[in-house]
Amino acid sequence: MTGPRGSGNRSCEMARPNVPVNPPAPHPEPRRRTARAALLALVLAAPLGGCALFGAPDELRGNRVDAEILREIVPNVSSRADVAALLGSPTATSTFDQSEWYYISATSHVRPGRLPGVNDQRVVVVRFNDGGVVQGVRELGESEMKSVQMVERTTPVPGNERSLLQALFGNIGRFGPAPTQPDAPGPAAPAP
């Protein structure tokens, strides 16, 4: 017990804290929790991706009339053939005569889970006189447009209304086994 190290050195060694040479690896549970949280955030944010960032582009519908081409139509000079050559066929015409042609266009966008929305709607009206010559060209604004409300009524059809008992017991016996058919066609012949 005597040696280069004295008993005093051993007491110093004993007082030193015991530190392992290879510390244990950290527990993987915190990493799993953060990975799960990141995955959950990604799954919850995925449906929202189509709302704005990945939205569908705007779509042009109808016959868009450019202002430059519209200037080429001269009242009291241009004819129906000239207007048709410049603007193409009209989207709609007046109901009872051909005195007005309507060129309707709209820029729409897709809204997730709803009907398409309209960004910009234009209506150009070209009015003709009885001789087929342009009387005037005007563009209708939103203040001149009328909003048409849809009516959600249905016409009742007789015979389709069922009572509670008919709804509960109406299908009993309806879906049984298929009826059997005789092997020979027609009724059996009597024996002589």
Tens digit of pLDDT for each residue in 146-166? 777 888 888 777 776 777 777
Q: Is the pLDDT of residue 114 over 60?
A: yes
CATH topology of domain 59-142: Beta-lactamase Inhibitory Protein; Chain:B, domain 1 (3.30.1450)
CB environment 153-191: b (16+ within 10 A), e (fewer): eeeeeeeeeeeeeeeeeeeeeeeeeeeeeeeeeeeeeee
Q: Is the pLDDT of residue 122 over 70?
A: yes
Q: Can you give the pLDDT at residue 48?
A: 59
Instruction: Check residue 153 and report its DSSP letter.
Output: -
Q: What is the pTM of this model?
A: 0.48
Q: Can you give the pLDDT at residue 27?
A: 59
Domain spans, the chain: 59-142
Tens digit of pLDDT for each residue in 94-108? 888 889 999 988 888
Tens digit of pLDDT for each residue in 59-94? 777 778 888 888 889 899 998 999 999 988 888 888
